[in-house]
């Protein structure tokens, strides 16, 4: 994910999952334009602000039980959908998305 690299976070770190969760992304590692615009909800308007905000989200979610439950539900749903896609061997493109 180019955005993760641009803001200096490891795409495989849980912080990337947290970012896609906060942006209400439908697919992990893919952020549509309308989802990207959700940064505005958090008064984030540029790359510098993104670099500051995303780590704050991690601290908030990992220290708040209710927010963590929301993240868990998001991750669970993502994996559930991925598992269904992976089961269909004819859809090799979908398997790449789930990895």
Angle (CA) 87-92-94 rounded to 5° is 75
SS (H, E, C) the chain: CHHHHHCCCCCCCHHHHHHHHHCCCCECCECCHHHHHHHHHHCCCCHHHHHHHHHHHHHHHHCCHHHHHHHHHHHHHHHHHHHHHHHCCCCHHHHHHHC
- Phi first, then psi, for residue 30 (nearest 5°) are -135, 120
Domain enclosing residue 94, as ranges: 2-98
pLDDT at position 56 is 95
pLDDT at position 85 is 59
Does the model's pTM come out above 0.75? yes
Domain CATH code at residue 56: 1.10.238.10
* Cα separation, 2 vs 5, whole angstroms: 5
Q: What is the total count of domains within the chain?
A: 1
pLDDT along the chain (99 residues), means of 10: 87 90 84 94 94 94 95 87 60 50
């Amino acid at each position: 994910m180019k955005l993760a690299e641009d803001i200096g976070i490891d795409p495989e770190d849980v912080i990337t999952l947290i970012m896609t969760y906060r942006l209400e992304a439908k697919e992990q590692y893919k952020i549509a334009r309308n989802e990207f615009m959700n940064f505005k909800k958090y008064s984030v308007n540029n790359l510098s602000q993104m670099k500051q905000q995303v780590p704050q989200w991690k601290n908030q979610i990992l220290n708040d039980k209710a927010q963590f439950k929301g993240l868990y539900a998001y991750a669970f749903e993502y994996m559930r959908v991925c598992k269904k896609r992976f089961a269909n061997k004819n859809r090799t493109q979908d398997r790449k998305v789930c990895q």
